[in-house]
């Protein structure tokens, strides 16, 4: 198979994933970018509120999209742009759920496509403290770009795929994913399945720990396939979207276990928005971040998340 795919990224106006206010697409054919498409999007009238947190992430304001088309107007052109190529995105679970909400919101025909997540692939191939896009890009030697704008993030995701292929010595994204036990996600009229790690160790949690977590849930609503289920989560810095207590409660409801401090058993360290939404290697880091780095050097598998990534996981 030729190394061809479409990188896609959405930015949203608020916490509802269908509140898309910008879309970016980059087409890669035989390992090279051929064309790109970016557009501001006027959110659906039912979900047009712009939250301050989202604005601070991407810098898009209501006035910026007032004269922009809504997603249903852009959809025919996007379908033509994508064609039969697979999609890729960094943290694809967010972008694919945004697409799903848009399709349902506007009553659009459900597309048929496969997709891959560069976040999942990066976790299998690279050894990093954080797998946010700036860290992955720096590790792979990808030049700095403006993160959390749809066009630049889509392009960065496409460059991540090409760099991972070179790093792993694989000819195309299908064989790259197979080599590290990552399944392709699937979209069609009957199902939306995720791109995830399926190899040894995937979902390897002790039954005792899972039962203890389950006992703390409210009405047992936790998704056992969710990214926080069975994971220990610590926090550093001030959260802007919720209090620390609220965040801990949300982790419990997601089937995870909140922690007061960072230990060798911590799975995720969430850096609050007051320390920057995008965890960037060049920004100031906290004492807990430094401890996470030190523990990783001793063999712990702690991953650092920015607040937006944590909210998206929830």
Segments making up each domain of the chain, as ranges: 5-193, 207-313
Could you report the per-residue pLDDT of 86-143, keeping only the tens digit for each?
A: 999 998 988 998 999 999 999 999 999 999 999 989 989 998 878 888 889 999 999 8
Predicted local confidence at residue 280, as pLDDT: 61
Write down the CATH number for the domain with range 5-193.
3.30.420.10
Contacts of 246 (CB under 8 A, 6+ apart): none
Give me the chain's average pLDDT, please: 86
Predicted local confidence at residue 205, as pLDDT: 34
Higher pLDDT: 44 or 296? It is 44
Give domain 207-313's CATH architecture.
3-Layer(aba) Sandwich (3.40)
User: What's the pTM?
Assistant: 0.74
């Amino acid at each position: 198979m030729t190394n061809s795919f479409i990188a896609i990224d959405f930015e949203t106006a608020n916490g509802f994933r269908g509140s898309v206010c910008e879309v970016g697409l980059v087409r890669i054919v035989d390992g090279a970018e051929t064309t790109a498409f970016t557009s501001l999007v006027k959110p659906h009238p039912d979900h047009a509120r712009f939250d301050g947190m989202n604005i601070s992430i991407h810098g898009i304001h209501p006035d910026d999209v007032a004269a922009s088309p809504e997603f249903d107007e852009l959809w025919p052109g996007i379908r033509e742009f994508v064609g039969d190529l697979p999609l890729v995105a960094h943290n694809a679970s967010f972008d694919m759920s945004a697409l799903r909400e848009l399709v349902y919101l506007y009553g659009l025909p459900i597309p048929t496509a496969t997709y891959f997540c560069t976040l999942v692939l990066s976790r299998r191939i690279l050894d990093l403290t954080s797998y946010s896009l700036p860290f992955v890009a720096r590790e792979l030697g990808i030049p700095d770009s403006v993160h959390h704008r749809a066009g630049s993030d889509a392009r960065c995701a496409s460059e991540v795929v090409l760099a991972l292929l070179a790093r792993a010595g694989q000819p195309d994204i299908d064989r790259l994913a197979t080599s590290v036990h990552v399944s392709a996600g699937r979209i069609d009229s009957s199902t939306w399945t995720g791109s995830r790690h399926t190899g040894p160790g995937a979902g390897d949690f002790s039954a005792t720990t899972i039962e203890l977590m389950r006992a703390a849930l409210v009405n047992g609503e936790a998704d056992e396939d969710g990214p926080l289920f069975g994971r220990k989560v610590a926090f550093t810095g001030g959260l802007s979207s919720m209090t620390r207590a609220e965040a801990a409660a949300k982790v419990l409801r997601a089937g995870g276990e909140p922690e007061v401090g960072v230990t060798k058993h911590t799975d995720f360290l969430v850096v609050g928005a007051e320390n920057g939404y995008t965890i960037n290697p060049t920004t100031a880091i906290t004492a807990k971040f430094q401890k996470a780095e030190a523990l990783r050097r001793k063999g712990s598998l702690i991953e650092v998340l920015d607040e937006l990534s944590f909210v998206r996981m929830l």
